[in-house]
Amino acid sequence: MKKLVSVGIFSVLTGALFVQPAAAEAAADIAAASATGWASGLKYLAAGLAVGLSCIAGGIAVGQIGAAAMGAMSENAEISGKALPFVGLAEGICLWGFIVALLILML
């Protein structure tokens, strides 16, 4: 246990040596970004939120629809063709989020 703690502390200390030059570069990038204004930063944040939230919602929808479809197919195998379009509709939520993100970035 002591060896694991000492390795962890050593890793953090040596990592700090490498992060310090990167932090100076990041500070310069932040200063340059603040000169361009808040609009560009918020644009990227909005695009990321559009894709992220739509993909999370699409994943939840596909999970629930897939579970229900598998349950229905276990009772009647002929229903599998009717369940696939609903899964495709749920995946379309992610596509719409991506399209909205592209529109945000292009405008």
CATH value at residue 66: 1.20.20.10
Higher pLDDT, 96 or 25: 96
Q: Which domain holds residue 45?
A: 37-107
CB 58 within 8 A of CB 87: no
Do 47 and 14 lie in one domain? The reply is no
Neighbours of 58 (CB within 10 A): 19
Q: What is the total count of domains within the chain?
A: 2
Over residues 3-15, mean pLDDT: 52
CB 93 within 8 A of CB 52: no
Do 53 and 94 lie in one domain? The reply is yes
Do 31 and 79 lie in one domain? The reply is no
Predicted confidence (pLDDT) per residue in 23-60, tens digit: 556 555 665 655 566 777 788 899 999 999 999 999 99
Buried b (16+ CB within 10 A) or exposed e, 75-100: eeeeeeeebeeeeeebeebbeebeeb
